[in-house]
Amino acid sequence: MRKIIKNGTIVTAADTFKADILIENGVVSQIGKNLSTSDAEVIDVEGHYVFPGGVDPHTHLEMPFGGTVTKDDFETGTIAAAFGGTTTVIDFCLTNKGEPLKDAINTWHGKSNGKAVIDYGFHLMIGEVNDDVLAELPSVIENEGITSFKVFMAYKNVLQADDETLFQTLVAAKDLGALVMVHAENGDVIDYLVKKALKEGNTDPIYHALTRPSEIEGEATERAAVFTGLAESQIYIVHVTCEEAARKIAEAREKGIDIWGETCQQYLVLDQTYLERENFEGAKYVWSPPLREKWHQDVLWKALKNGQLHTVGSDQCSFDFNGQKDLGRNDFSKIPNGGPNIEDRISIMFSEGVKKGKITLNQFVDITSTRAAKLFGLYPKKGTIAVGADADIVIFDPNMERIISAETHHMAVDYSAYEGMKVTGEPVSVLSRGEFVVRDKKFVGKIGSGQYLKRAKYGENYEAENKTYTM
Ligand code: URP
Ligand code: ZN
Ligand code: ZN
């Protein structure tokens, strides 16, 4: 059935204007004043903003990690994402050395197919580069539409790749048209500092932060940037937490290196003191890179404001406090790294960013949706409200208040990292390809309705298969 969203204020990365939206066959077919058709359902959203659905470029759903598996899977994770105003996620497909990439990708299809309630794509982890991997990469791009690779510079003996692998990945990505994503921390130095701390009897969660200093995030960011320049390739630094890394990205951009930076809402509103909480509660805030001293928050907000950082991902990687985080009760290095963030990304960015004047409304849309769609080959199908785009739409009440709590959130995890925080501005209803997934704060979606997204190459616009539009 056709739908008209009436009387809302449409906000894109570029414009803010009052208009109606006609939705037909899951796409936006008209935008204009006083639209009317006899057979359309009319949804009056007077007093609300109408945003393009959020694009979360950084999630870990049902991912084996730290001796356990993340609690939210593609069902609970995408339901929570939808409640939070996100209509597309790009999840990290892990690979194992020696395993064909195709098998790893099929494992991820198995986790997501029939479960997701919003559309999703995959990034592919590269842990080694050899002839077999190089032979498979063209098919990963052409057949799977996976146009971003992830290299970990940390998690020694688990996920960490060496510098040669990172450099070779950058070279291959340049030729293939893929964007390389990097977790930038010096894993070797961390490994030494962790062993030293444990030897000295320092086992509490706070030592997670103290053994991963911001300087080595800056060092790894600079190293990745230098490699990118040498390879004349392109890179996206995930989860930037600190002044050092933000500065290295800005300096590299000034030199003309094709480098992009993502931060996450947790680094903008939480700080290192959370890891000092008593009764092992600090474990709830153990993720990597760690939370930093509070002054870094100001640097990150300013970098988003002035365009030195470009996106905010959630780094959703949820573990229960009871039964998962407590694997590290006597040894901080055994606490599974990660937190529950997917649901609150957009509310926090609006409440703390727009309402407090740190970013503009249009920047908010760019940072939470449009820019990720552009960088990861989904624009303009995703990430904007335009004729021909998917009708992934968030109807947002800018004045509605909510106290964030595990009691009311939709993630499967037993705590909230933002427990008790008041946010102003909430998604009320959310549509994916023209169908309500959340309506008036209630889930009305269909499990498995989310579609897998084959993405365009880096720097290219998404073109719908039926070629209904091009940019
Ligand atoms: O602690 C985190 N961030 N866990 C997820 C894996 C990663 O490094 O992004
Ligand atoms: Zn990471
Ligand atoms: Zn992550």
Question: What pLDDT digit, counting tens, does each position of 58-85 carry?
Answer: 999 999 999 999 999 999 999 999 999 9
Most informative mutation of 94, 155, 287, 325 for ligand 1 (most atoms within 8 A of CB): 287
Q: Strands 148-152 and 119-125: what pairing?
A: parallel
138 is a domain residue: yes
CA 71–ligand 1 middle distance (angstroms): 14
Q: Which ligand is nearest to the CA of 287?
A: 1
Residue 462 beta carbon below 6 angstroms from any ligand 1 atom: no
pLDDT at 464 over 70: no
Residues near ion ligand 2 (Cβ under 5 Å): 183
Percent of the chain with pLDDT over 70: 98
What's the pLDDT at 72? 98
425 is a domain residue: no
410 is a domain residue: no
Q: Which ligand is nearest to the CA of 66?
A: 1
Q: Which residue has the tokens 């990150």?
A: 300
Q: Looking at residue 301, which CATH number applies to its domain?
A: 3.20.20.140
What's the pLDDT at 38? 85
CB of 207 closer than 8 Å to CB of 234: no
Residue 315 beta carbon below 6 angstroms from any ligand 1 atom: yes
451 burial class (0-12, 13-18, 19+ CB within 10 angstroms)? middle
Residue 73 beta carbon below 6 angstroms from any ligand 1 atom: no
Question: What pLDDT digit, counting tens, does each position of 291-339 carry?
Answer: 999 999 999 999 999 999 999 999 999 999 999 999 999 999 999 999 9
Specify the pTM: 0.98
What's the pLDDT at 471? 34
Residue 288 beta carbon below 6 angstroms from any ligand 1 atom: yes
- pLDDT mean across residues, the chain: 97
Residue 72 beta carbon below 6 angstroms from any ligand 1 atom: no
For residue 364, the one-letter residue type is: F
CA 367–ligand 1 middle distance (angstroms): 20
The 10 Å Cβ neighbour count of residue 215 is: 13
Residues 6+ apart with CB under 8 A from 401: 422, 423, 424, 426
DSSP code of residue 263: E
CA 72–ligand 3 middle distance (angstroms): 14
Percent of the chain with pLDDT over 90: 97
The whole domain housing 166 covers: 53-375
CB of 431 closer than 8 Å to CB of 100: no
436 is a domain residue: no
pLDDT at 103 over 70: yes
State how far Cα 159 lies from the chain centre: 19
Q: Domains in the chain: how many in total?
A: 1
CA 65–ligand 1 middle distance (angstroms): 9
Residue 317 beta carbon below 6 angstroms from any ligand 1 atom: yes
141 is a domain residue: yes
Q: Which ligand is nearest to the CA of 314?
A: 3
Among protein residues, the one whose CA lies closest to atom 3 of ligand 1: 288
CB of 379 closer than 8 Å to CB of 366: no
455 is a domain residue: no
458 is a domain residue: no
CB of 334 closer than 8 Å to CB of 68: no
pLDDT at 470 over 50: no
CB of 20 closer than 8 Å to CB of 336: no
Question: What pLDDT digit, counting tens, does each position of 172-231 carry?
Answer: 999 999 999 999 999 999 999 999 999 999 999 999 999 999 999 999 999 999 999 999
Residue 287 beta carbon below 6 angstroms from any ligand 1 atom: yes
pLDDT band at 438 (very low <50, low <70, confident <90, very high): very high
pLDDT band at 462 (very low <50, low <70, confident <90, very high): confident
pLDDT at 373 over 80: yes
81 is a domain residue: yes
- Let me know the angle formed at the C-alpha of 417 by 123 and 373, rounded to the nearest 5 degrees: 30
What's the pLDDT at 93? 98
Which pair of tokens denotes residue 217?
Answer: 């995030």
pLDDT at 468 over 50: no
Among protein residues, the one whose CA lies closest to atom 7 of ligand 1: 288
* pLDDT, average across residues 258-287: 98
CA 307–ligand 2 middle distance (angstroms): 22
CA 60–ligand 3 middle distance (angstroms): 6
What's the pLDDT at 320? 98
Residues 6+ apart with CB under 8 A from 22: 2, 3, 4, 28, 29, 30, 31, 35, 37, 40
Which of the pair, 213 or 37, is modelled with greater confidence? 213
Question: What pLDDT digit, counting tens, does each position of 202-217 carry?
Answer: 999 999 999 999 999 9
- Which phi and psi angles does 252 have, rounded to 5°? -65, -40
Residues near ion ligand 3 (Cβ under 5 Å): 315
